[in-house]
Amino acid sequence: MPHQRQQLLVLCLAAPDLESSTVAWSLYDGARPVDDLQPQTGDDKTPPYASVLRAMQDGWRVIQVPSLPTYIPGHEHETTHLPYEYILERMVTVDGE
Amino acid sequence: MANSASSDLLNAHQMAEFVSRGYVALPAVVPDALNQLVHQDLRTYQGPSGQFWFQTEHIQSVFNLPRVKGAIESLVGKDPVYDHSAIHVAGPGHRRAQTYHQDSIIDTRPLAFDVQAFYFCHDTPYEMGPTLVLPGSHLRKANTASISRYKNVLGQVRLACDRGTVVFMHHGIWHCAQPNATDTLRYMFKLRLRPSVPQRGLFNTAEVDDPEVKKTLYQAYQPWQGNEARLDHMNRAKLWRYVVGDDTVDVSFEGAFTRMGL
């Protein structure tokens, strides 16, 4: 019997522009069987999409848009996580019991 | 402890590489006979990982080699404080990678840093899953596994290397262990050291004004840094001032230190 499963694609971009380049990416695949290995760190050299816009054009839905960084006086140059991180989803159909 | 010969210290090019990328390697610096002795110790050792440093015969000889000692002296001084050590192992065919992380806890020292020496006693090709590092990430604040959502980042590098290589890393570098696709057990020995002195002018500073050194610092932009790349540039310029020991040196973005009177 077919079931719907969610796939989450995390794309980190170079800038807030949704057409800017993908610099980091992850796929969390809810359609894979529980015992299968999920995508791992270091297993890919090329982003699946060049930008969030390109992913949208292939059917992915954006479900989270990052807030823009704020700059605290005295700490303007400090850097931390990748700030322009988008979460996208796609529902896929899998066969199952 | 005696001072290292200047030829055994890191030179300005190597230090600029460390400041820019967050690590510097001494490829195949350990003689093969010693690599084999340590490898044998690792294969037979039964004790706790953190005691290998103290309980086996040959590992400390690696870190007493003049060039290895010289690199340590260049980074954390000639009498550094032992922090901890560990044996990292990935079995044959181990498929699961570690997630990206920074070691230990958020470091609140503005510029001072610990160094982590990663020693590979046997050839560690790409398919054996040597440590994956993200060049230029060492000055970005993260809280241990708070970066674990990222699976792949442009510019990430697996530290594939010949046996006898020691890689010295800034404590803040983002990294993770990788799967081992070979049928051979992979070992890596890690030693973390703290500075016992301010880390100012500890390396061979003879060539700090060499244009190639400045070029390394200016051009160390990483493909993943995006819109924050200029901020990362400012942070490595601050670290460069610290390790050079001269707070008037300005390798910041567009001379921003001078412009802003910093």
pLDDT digits (tens, 9 = 90+) for B239-259: 999 999 999 999 999 999 999
Of A16, A41, A76, the CB nearest to B98: A41
Sort A22 into a burial class: Cβ within 10 Å, 0-12 / 13-18 / 19+: buried
Query: Per-residue pLDDT tens for A1-39?
Result: 889 999 999 999 999 999 999 999 999 999 999 999 999
- How many angstroms away from the CA of A59 is the closest CA of chain B? 22
Distance CA B262, CA B252 (A): 10
Q: What are phi and psi of B187, to 5 degrees?
A: -115, 150
Contacts of B231 in chain A (CB under 8 A): 76-79
* pLDDT band at residue B3 using 50, 70 and 90 as cut-offs: confident
Kindly list the structural domains of chain B, giving each domain's residue range(s) and its CATH number in brackets, ordered by start: 6-194 (2.60.120.620), 207-260 (no CATH)
Size of interface A-B (CB pairs under 8 A): 100
pTM of the model: 0.96
pLDDT tier at B223, thresholds 50, 70, 90: very high
pLDDT tier at B261, thresholds 50, 70, 90: very high
Residue B1 has pLDDT above 70, yes or no: no
% of residues, chain B, pLDDT over 90? 98
Chain A: residues touching B (Cβ < 8 Å): 10, 12-16, 20-27, 37, 39-45, 47, 76-85
Q: What percent of chain B has pLDDT over 70?
A: 99
B87-116, pLDDT tens digit by residue?
A: 999 999 999 999 999 999 999 999 999 999
Q: Which residues of B touch A80 (CB under 8 A)?
A: 140-142
Measuring CA to CA, which residue among A47, A60, A42, A43 is closest to residue A12? A47
For residues B138 and B232, the answer to whether their CB atoms sit within 8 Å is no
Contact status, residue B151 vs residue A27, Cβ threshold 8 Å: yes
What is the structure's pLDDT at B146?
97
Which chain B residue has its CA at the smallest distance from A42's CA? B152
Per-residue pLDDT for B40 more than 90? Answer: yes
ipTM of the complex: 0.96
Confidence of residue B82 (pLDDT cuts 50, 70, 90): very high
Residue B2: is its pLDDT beyond 80?
A: no
Phi and psi dihedrals of A32, rounded to 5?
A: -75, 145
Task: Give the three-state DSSP class for B92.
Answer: coil
* Contact state of B178 with A78 under an 8 Å Cβ cutoff: no
Of the pLDDT bands very low, low, confident and very high (cuts 50, 70, 90), residue B13 is very high
Distance CA B87, CA B39 (A): 11
Q: What pLDDT score does A48 carry?
A: 98
pLDDT at A97 over 70: no
Residue-wise pLDDT for B114-154, tens only, equals 999 999 999 999 999 999 999 999 999 999 999 999 999 99
Quick check: A39 and B158 CB within 8 A?
A: no
Contact A14, A21 (CB under 8 A): yes
Which of B95, B132, B142 is closest, CB to CB, to A42? Answer: B132
Q: Is B154 exposed, middle or buried (0-12, 13-18, 19+ CB in 10 A)?
A: buried
Span between the terminal Cα atoms of chain B, in Å: 37
Write down the pLDDT at residue B211.
Answer: 98
pLDDT tens per residue, range A82-93: 999 999 999 999
Cα–Cα distance between B157 and B40 in angstroms, integer? Answer: 28
Reported as a single tens digit per residue, the pLDDT across B62-76 is 999 999 999 999 999
